[in-house]
């Protein structure tokens, strides 16, 4: 049984990942304890990782996996985005990850075979209108992860990034609020459907497993082909 920490486990991809990994020794962090997460009986800490102090987060001496799921979809025309908007996305998407990884690093090193999983977006690879803020912060995650993977390779800690396209989660609810919006989004993807939390969560499960022990510093698209195919 592995000790695994999932940040952003209250809903969406984080919750689905926790459900798939329920037989492991799970530690979870979320702003809210949802009934679905509570039913899993994890070691739970209620806080906002980007804003709150982490001193109350008590973790095991040895940690085998860390999954950082928080994200944002702050879509506005560039001329309507403020400096505060960019900083908010940067703090949530990157600095939250920096804080928790630094806290967990001694425990990750003790496992001698740990896996860190971060999340980006297909919009960091494919230019999309109104995505400048979120793409900037997620692009920072990708560069950060590759450098961190190089630095931690000697400690046998793997660092990988999952880059989904639009998935049917609460975070994307406004963008998928009608049947017309869902159909239009599906048609933009070569595989002609929108993503599901399971699509990314199953990759989380794989990247935490020993089956992925020779995979590090990768940006893996879970995007229905959108990142590499033009129809």
231 has pLDDT over 90: no
Query: Mean of the pLDDT values across residues 24-29?
Result: 98
Residue 110's Cα: distance from chain center in Å? 23
Query: Mean of the pLDDT values across residues 134-143?
Result: 96
- In the DSSP assignment, the letter for residue 124 is G
The three-state DSSP-derived secondary structure of 28-95 is: EEECCCCHHHHCCCCEEEECCCCCCCCCCCCCCCCCCEEEECCCCCCCCCHHHCCHHHHHHHHHHHHH
Task: Give the pair of three-digit tokens for residue 86.
Answer: 């960019």
Q: Is residue 230 part of a domain?
A: no
At 109, is the pLDDT very low, low, confident or very high (cuts 50, 70, 90)? Answer: very high
What does the alpha-carbon distance between residue 104 and residue 62 come to, in Å, rounded to a whole number?
Answer: 9
Q: Is residue 186 part of a domain?
A: no
**pLDDT of 74:** 81
CATH of the domain at 59: 3.40.50.720
User: What average pLDDT does the chain have?
Assistant: 93
At 94, is the pLDDT very low, low, confident or very high (cuts 50, 70, 90)? Answer: very high
172 has pLDDT over 80: no
Q: Is residue 181 part of a domain?
A: no
Measured CA distances, 100 to 24, 118, 221 (Å)? 20, 12, 24
Query: What stretch of H or E contains 15?
Result: helix 12-20
For the chain, what is the domain count? 1
Q: What's the order of all strands across the beta sheet hosting 3-7? A: 43-46, 25-30, 3-7, 65-68, 115-119, 158-164, 219-222
Tally Cβ neighbours within 10 Å of residue 23.
Answer: 8
Question: Which ranges of 58-209 does DSSP label H, i.e. alpha helix?
Answer: 83-90, 96-111, 132-152, 179-188, 197-208
Q: Exposure of 44 by Cβ count < 10 A (0-12 exposed, 13-18 middle, 19+ buried)?
A: middle
Q: CB within 8 A of 223, min separation 6: which ones?
A: 122, 163, 164, 165, 189, 195
175 has pLDDT over 90: no
Query: Mean of the pLDDT values across residues 11-30?
Result: 97
**pLDDT of 179:** 84
The three-class DSSP label of residue 101 is helix
171 has pLDDT over 90: no
**pLDDT of 173:** 64
At 98, is the pLDDT very low, low, confident or very high (cuts 50, 70, 90)? Answer: very high
**pLDDT of 108:** 98
The three-class DSSP label of residue 172 is helix
Query: Mean of the pLDDT values across residues 190-215?
Result: 96
Report which of 124, 29, 137, 159 is spatially closest to residue 93, judged by C-alpha positions.
137
Q: Is residue 206 part of a domain?
A: yes
pLDDT tens-digit readout, 35-58: 999 999 999 999 999 888 999 899
Q: Which residues constitute the domain of residue 50?
A: 3-166+195-222
Q: Is residue 85 part of a domain?
A: yes
- Look up tokens 């009986």; give the residue: 41
């Amino acid at each position: 049984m592995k000790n695994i920490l999932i940040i952003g486990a209250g809903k969406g991809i984080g919750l689905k990942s926790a459900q798939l990994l329920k037989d492991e020794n799970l530690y979870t962090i979320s702003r809210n304890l949802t009934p679905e997460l509570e039913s899993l009986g994890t070691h739970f800490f209620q806080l906002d990782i980007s804003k709150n102090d982490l001193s109350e987060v008590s973790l095991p001496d040895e940690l085998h996996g860390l999954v950082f799921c928080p994200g944002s979809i702050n879509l506005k025309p560039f001329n309507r985005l403020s400096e505060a908007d960019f900083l908010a996305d940067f703090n949530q998407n990157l600095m939250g990850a920096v804080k928790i990884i630094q806290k967990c690093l001694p425990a990750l090193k003790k496992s001698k075979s740990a896996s860190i999983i971060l999340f980006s977006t297909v919009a960091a690879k494919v230019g999309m209108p109104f995505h400048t803020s979120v793409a900037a912060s997620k692009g920072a995650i990708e560069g950060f992860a590759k450098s961190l993977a190089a630095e931690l390779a000697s400690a046998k800690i793997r660092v990988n990034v999952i880059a989904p396209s639009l998935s049917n989660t609460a975070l994307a609810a406004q963008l998928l609020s009608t049947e017309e919006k869902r159909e239009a989004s599906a048609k933009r993807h070569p595989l002609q459907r929108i993503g599901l939390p399971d699509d990314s969560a199953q990759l989380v499960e794989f990247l935490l497993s020993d089956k992925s022990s020779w995979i590090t510093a990768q940006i893996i698209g879970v995007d229905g082909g959108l990142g590499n195919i033009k129809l």
